[in-house]
A and B are shown apart, each in its own frame.
Chain A
């Protein structure tokens, strides 16, 4: 055994704190270490070359690299050692940056000692390492995209255009998502529906895309390459194949309820399409509001009116099973309920509305036909106050983050308002205007300069009703004055939050979420569209607040990740999975019960002459995630995760703790 130890300076990040020369000297004396050196940037091209040359020159059999977190460069170094024929699982990384120099920058001596111990532990571990080969599994060349907004549509189209089959599942009766609700989009003022609906239609007609609307993902099993998905199609009570979308049923339906698509500002019938350009253009009967119940039919108006006999009151939920090789989550966002913003009278005063509600009031296809009318009395508001950061950048409301889209959409809404109500006044309260995007800043300057909209730098503290006005108490910190505005309408820009159900879906797919419920990516900078669960990718605002252009970019990125996966013959899995030593296993089943991925089954030995057939645990390698729960619970040390065996870990811990 010939171990080489390479210690990285990471510029001053490591070498500025720990004594690298001392580490080299002490590491070279460790058992089986034949060579130790230091280098200024091991991750650089020449740094990697240095490692490769030394492996060849000194015939190194194992390598320890003491550098930054393996999350950062494990793959870089693995590739480097593999390049010269060394099995990458004979490489161990000691994290002496994040775990040492960064956190102990004020105590260099202790940091040096800790760094040495980390290296010593890595050497002890790598001495027991075995070469491993990646696991290959067959790949189902189909994809599930969850969420039919712009993120899901863009992803589905890109994958389908690449030649693979896509199932696009949407919870509501139509594709489109929030983008379909918007009037115009910033900064180009393109009509949102005009640029979105062609994509919706393209998706629906694409030979590689199966659009499944009014449906939800109920269950997902399996792993990258082979997911088994159960989708529940909610009963529409309208047979899609027969429905022509003529709307005769809607005309005769006697029940009128608020339309969710109009944020409740407009009305729909109990049998409806959410908006005229809906895709698919198939009616949905909402049984919750219909006069009929599952058991009792008291009104048959729609049934009678329907020429093609498409209505079926007895329709049941339907479960579909599909198999896919990859999943893209594109479930989008919701707005923080404004009932949480009590100081602004959210939920109390009808004329305090959200940005999304205001979009519907601005939209030519909205409930007011594009004439801005306030909800309480239908009057055209002559003085409108926009309040940004309504819950965003606000730890006290649980959202310390910036919602990113509000500065731009508020500017756009103020401009559109001025265009439809030229004698109206608009005031925008902001903390900072964040307009970092292509032509964004120019757009905001146009809104301020050309539209002459007054921006007040400060937050609003209270909104309350006085007669038919809303009194707004705000601050303008630039002039240093508290201000009062008697407004006709107040538009809040509530914090962007993950859409309802995101948490459940994340659990189902074993994707982690951050403290606010947004889906977590593997690496925020370098791997922004991959989830921690292999084969599961992220697109759109489900990952973090983002606008349409950024969403489209991320959606295409997710699609390209999927395409590169599907263009391979088989899926490659990390070989860091559990192995059972049949001789030691007593078949107790503890690991079987403990495994969170259901990767273990209990099996019996083949018949043996004259002997009892023993029971033992068997690991499905393609399902095992290498978490090690089985290993921790096994009383006989019979199950071990490759690369992290009991012996390796205990050697590592011993080396860490023992004094020289």
Chain B
């Protein structure tokens, strides 16, 4: 594993613009990862998502499952000592992907298997589709 570092901040800039957050305000204490309810399901820890943004490791970041597992529960945001909203940054990364690839992460068909409350359907469509 070796990452060649070079300035590659197009993704970073877009994510910061969408989220209104400063990625470099994060000092990588890991408190977000320590409390994330979804961390057991994730391939990258939440703090690593920010780390890859800081490093400009865009490919590794855009490939991860983590951003699609974030449930926008705001636990990380509520406890971040630096007041960084990782919840917003996650949304920023998701939106960059959705907007650029135009690929939905879920189709209404997949959600037809059982009877679901509307609030679940609408929220999922909002978060996972373009």
Q: How far is the CA of A458 from the CA of B27 in the complex (A)?
A: 10
- Is B19 engaged at the interface, CB distance under 8 Å to the other chain? no
- Is A473 engaged at the interface, CB distance under 8 Å to the other chain? yes
| Residues 50-83 (chain B) with a chain A CB within 8 angstroms | 75, 79-83
- A459 CB contact (under 8 Å) in B31, B39, B45, B83: B31
Asked whether, in the complex, the Cβ of B81 is within 8 Å of the Cβ of A343, the reply is no
Which residues of chain B are near A477, meaning CB under 8 Å?
Answer: 28-30, 33, 45, 47
Which residues of chain B are near A474, meaning CB under 8 Å?
Answer: 30, 34
Asked whether, in the complex, the Cβ of A461 is within 8 Å of the Cβ of B81, the reply is no
A-B contact count (CB 8 A): 74
Q: Mark A388-425, 1 if CB is under 8 A from B, else 0.
A: 01000111110000000000000000000000000000
| Residues 66-103 (chain B) with a chain A CB within 8 angstroms | 75, 79-83
Q: How far is the CA of A274 from the CA of B24 in the complex (A)?
A: 48
Asked whether, in the complex, the Cβ of A459 is within 8 Å of the Cβ of B36, the reply is no
Asked whether, in the complex, the Cβ of A461 is within 8 Å of the Cβ of B82, the reply is no
- Is B20 engaged at the interface, CB distance under 8 Å to the other chain? no
Q: How far is the CA of A462 from the CA of B32 in the complex (A)?
A: 10
Which residues of chain A are near B33, meaning CB under 8 Å?
Answer: 458, 461, 475, 477, 482
Asked whether, in the complex, the Cβ of A473 is within 8 Å of the Cβ of B29, the reply is no
- Is B118 engaged at the interface, CB distance under 8 Å to the other chain? no
Which residues of chain B are near A473, meaning CB under 8 Å?
Answer: 34-35
Asked whether, in the complex, the Cβ of B81 is within 8 Å of the Cβ of A459, the reply is yes
| Residues 455-488 (chain A) with a chain B CB within 8 angstroms | 457-462, 473-477, 480-483
Which residues of chain A are near B83, meaning CB under 8 Å?
Answer: 395-396
- Is B40 engaged at the interface, CB distance under 8 Å to the other chain? yes
- Is B48 engaged at the interface, CB distance under 8 Å to the other chain? yes
| Residues 3-56 (chain B) with a chain A CB within 8 angstroms | 27-36, 39-40, 44-45, 47-48
Q: How far is the CA of A457 from the CA of B80 in the complex (A)?
A: 16
Q: How far is the CA of A462 from the CA of B31 in the complex (A)?
A: 9
Q: A480-B45, A482-B39 are in contact. Are A475 and B31 (CB under 8 A)?
A: yes
- Is A431 engaged at the interface, CB distance under 8 Å to the other chain? yes
Asked whether, in the complex, the Cβ of B31 is within 8 Å of the Cβ of A460, the reply is yes
Asked whether, in the complex, the Cβ of A395 is within 8 Å of the Cβ of B81, the reply is yes
Asked whether, in the complex, the Cβ of A482 is within 8 Å of the Cβ of B40, the reply is yes
Q: A481-B45, A482-B40 are in contact. Are A431 and B29 (CB under 8 A)?
A: yes
Listed residue (B33, B47, B48) with the most chain A CB atoms within 10 angstroms of its CB: B33
Q: Mark A561-592, 1 if CB is under 8 A from B, else 0.
A: 00000000000000000000000000000000
- B31 CB contact (under 8 Å) in A461, A476, A480: A461
Q: How far is the CA of A356 from the CA of B123 in the complex (A)?
A: 47
Asked whether, in the complex, the Cβ of A459 is within 8 Å of the Cβ of B82, the reply is no
Which residues of chain B are near A457, meaning CB under 8 Å?
Answer: 30
Asked whether, in the complex, the Cβ of B34 is within 8 Å of the Cβ of A475, the reply is yes
- A482 CB contact (under 8 Å) in B28, B36, B79: B36
| Nearest CB of A to B77, in Å | 10
Which residues of chain A are near B31, meaning CB under 8 Å?
Answer: 458-461, 475
Q: How far is the CA of A290 from the CA of B7 in the complex (A)?
A: 70
| Nearest CB of A to B17, in Å | 23
| Nearest CB of B to A402, in Å | 11
| Nearest CB of B to A384, in Å | 18
Q: How far is the CA of A458 from the CA of B34 in the complex (A)?
A: 8
Which residues of chain A are near B39, meaning CB under 8 Å?
Answer: 482
Which residues of chain B are near A476, meaning CB under 8 Å?
Answer: 30
Asked whether, in the complex, the Cβ of A431 is within 8 Å of the Cβ of B27, the reply is yes
Q: How far is the CA of A431 from the CA of B32 in the complex (A)?
A: 13
Which residues of chain A are near B32, meaning CB under 8 Å?
Answer: 461, 475
Asked whether, in the complex, the Cβ of A397 is within 8 Å of the Cβ of B34, the reply is no
- A460 CB contact (under 8 Å) in B27, B34, B44, B82: B34
12 A–B contact pairs at CB < 8 A? A389-B81, A393-B27, A395-B81, A458-B31, A461-B75, A462-B35, A473-B35, A475-B30, A475-B31, A477-B28, A482-B33, A483-B34
4 A-B pairs with least C-beta separation: A461-B35, A458-B30, A475-B30, A461-B34
> B: which residues have CB within 8 A of A?
27-36, 39-40, 44-45, 47-48, 75, 79-83
